[in-house]
């Protein structure tokens, strides 16, 4: 829709109707923050009771309804679509209603509401990564990555390098650009970045700050031709295991693997089907994986749309299993073991050295410990602002507290939270 808004600024007005699946998605303040985070400046209706949804006979996310200048519904379309598919219809409507004198050509501007917490150095940071005393932050809202050195106590960090010009783009080199970077993974003097809105995996040479594209074309995977050309779909997080990079491919509900030497990719887990179904890697169903971590033999990931914490064997002939999470519409905020535990749209995950998993339970504004051996889930801290990234340090964890535009240090022994001073 953004492409169409930019192409027809004087004749097309987009109105978003948000009918939230999750409870937190029905909160107007949360919707406002999401719109600011995603750069949406058109009006958005909070259809929290699904009244507009029902009046337009909608039964799927997303659904597009085209309304003409007289207020009549020209047609609807359920499911994903491309701007190119709508251009012929819009062109015909422009011609017809211009001829009839019914089309008012006037760009409409809607100043966005201010965020609840004003951004400062960071703007909606998405993910964090640690490598010894090296810290990497996906400063997602500023379209850049910050690399810093942490003090031994983890309370302060000194910036060593800012990568990216601070504007959305898809350029390689020392003056390169990102578009909403997310997941990060160190490997020596390289930093791999899941460049979500560019639908690509990028690598940063930490000695020079140069960006180069490892995989992806800059356009979203939608067709078989796109797939053959090497396109990706919303890579959201990355982790490195024995020289192989694994990617949480949120847009098509899969995990991918990438060989950095040959730059070849393959689907590791999941079909295109969105669901929570345990099975061998090549036939399991995932639901928008948005965070991934690993040990030597397994990948651990959070499926945001099924509010689940799951695992996948690194062996391609292995399988996918579920630690907590039971269905696409089963969510909440409850500690427990296995199927008794509930989360709400988790987006971040990290592995503690003792084997426990630290989960950013994003829509519950909390961090939870999940034990993959016992399947026990326990709330650790609350009071965050839709956290979406976590990393485990020696005596503390670091959290990307996304809607508060900050990185928070949380002590393991006390649960005390403190904003990291980044200078």
Residues of the chain with CATH 2.120.10.30: 128-422
Beta strand ranges found along 325-416 (DSSP E): 336-337, 348-351, 357-361, 366-370, 376-382, 389-392, 396-401, 406-411
Q: pLDDT tens, position by position, for the chain (423 residues)? A: 888 988 999 999 999 999 999 999 999 999 999 999 998 889 999 999 999 999 999 998 899 999 999 999 999 999 887 888 899 999 999 999 999 999 988 888 888 889 999 999 999 999 999 999 999 999 999 999 999 999 999 999 999 999 999 999 999 999 999 999 999 999 999 999 999 999 999 999 999 999 999 999 999 998 889 989 999 999 999 999 999 999 999 999 999 999 999 999 999 999 999 999 999 999 999 999 999 999 989 999 999 999 999 999 999 999 999 999 999 999 999 999 999 999 999 999 999 999 999 999 999 999 999 999 999 999 999 999 999 999 999 999 999 999 999 999 999 999 999 999 999
Listed in sequence order, the DSSP H helices in 136-253 are 224-228
Q: Which CATH architecture has domain 128-422?
A: 6 Propeller (2.120)
Dist CA 74 CA 63 (whole Å): 13
Residues of the chain with CATH 3.40.30.10: 2-99
Which contacts (CB < 8 Å, 24+ apart) does range 390-395 have?
390/128, 390/291, 390/348, 390/349, 390/350, 390/358, 390/359, 390/360, 391/128, 391/129, 391/130, 391/350, 392/130, 392/350, 392/351, 392/352, 392/353, 392/358, 393/130, 393/150, 393/154, 395/154
Cβ pair 234, 199 in contact under 8 A:
yes
Dist CA 388 CA 151 (whole Å): 23
Q: Is 335 exposed, middle or buried (0-12, 13-18, 19+ CB in 10 A)?
A: middle
Assigned fold of 2-99:
Glutaredoxin (3.40.30)
């Amino acid at each position: 829709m953004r492409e169409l808004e930019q192409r027809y600024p004087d004749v097309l007005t987009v109105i978003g109707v948000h009918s939230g699946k999750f409870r937190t998605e029905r909160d107007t303040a949360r919707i406002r923050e999401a719109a600011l985070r995603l750069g949406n400046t058109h009006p958005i209706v909070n259809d929290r009771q699904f009244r507009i949804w029902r009046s337009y006979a909608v039964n799927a996310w997303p659904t597009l309804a085209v309304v003409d200048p007289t207020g009549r519904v020209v047609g609807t379309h359920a499911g994903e679509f491309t701007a190119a598919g709508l251009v012929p219809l819009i062109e015909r409507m422009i011609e017809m209603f211009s001829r009839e004198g019914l089309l008012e050509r006037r760009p409409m501007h809607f100043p966005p509401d201010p965020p609840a917490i004003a951004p400062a150095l960071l703007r909606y940071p998405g993910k964090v990564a640690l490598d010894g005393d090296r810290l990497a932050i996906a400063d997602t809202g500023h379209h850049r990555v910050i690399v810093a050195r942490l003090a031994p106590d983890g309370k302060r960090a000194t910036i060593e390098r800012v990568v990216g010009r601070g504007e959305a783009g898809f350029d390689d080199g020392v003056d390169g650009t990102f578009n909403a970077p997310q997941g990060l993974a160190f490997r020596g003097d390289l930093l791999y970045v899941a460049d979500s809105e560019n639908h690509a995996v990028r690598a940063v040479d930490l000695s020079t700050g140069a960006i180069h594209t490892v995989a992806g074309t800059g356009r979203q995977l939608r067709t078989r031709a796109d797939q053959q050309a090497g396109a990706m779909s919303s890579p959201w997080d990355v982790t490195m295991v024995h020289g192989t990079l694994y990617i949480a491919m949120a847009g098509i509900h899969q995990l991918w693997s990438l060989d950095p030497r040959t730059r070849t990719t393959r689907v590791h887990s999941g079909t295109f089907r969105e669901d929570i179904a345990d099975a061998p890697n090549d036939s399991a169903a995932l639901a928008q994986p948005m965070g991934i971590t690993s040990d030597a033999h397994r990948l651990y990931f959070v499926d945001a749309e099924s509010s689940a914490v799951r695992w996948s064997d690194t062996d391609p002939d292995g399988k996918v299993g579920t630690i907590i999470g039971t269905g696409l519409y089963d969510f909440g905020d409850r500690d427990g073991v296995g199927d008794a535990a509930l989360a709400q749209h988790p987006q971040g995950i990290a592995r503690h050295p003792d084997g426990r998993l630290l989960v950013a339970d994003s829509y519950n504004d909390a961090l939870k410990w999940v034990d993959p051996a016992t399947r026990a889930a326990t709330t650790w801290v609350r009071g965050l602002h839709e956290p979406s990234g976590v990393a485990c340090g020696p005596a503390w964890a670091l959290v990307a507290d996304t809607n508060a535009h900050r990185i928070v240090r949380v002590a393991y022994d006390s649960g005390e939270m403190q904003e990291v001073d980044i200078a």
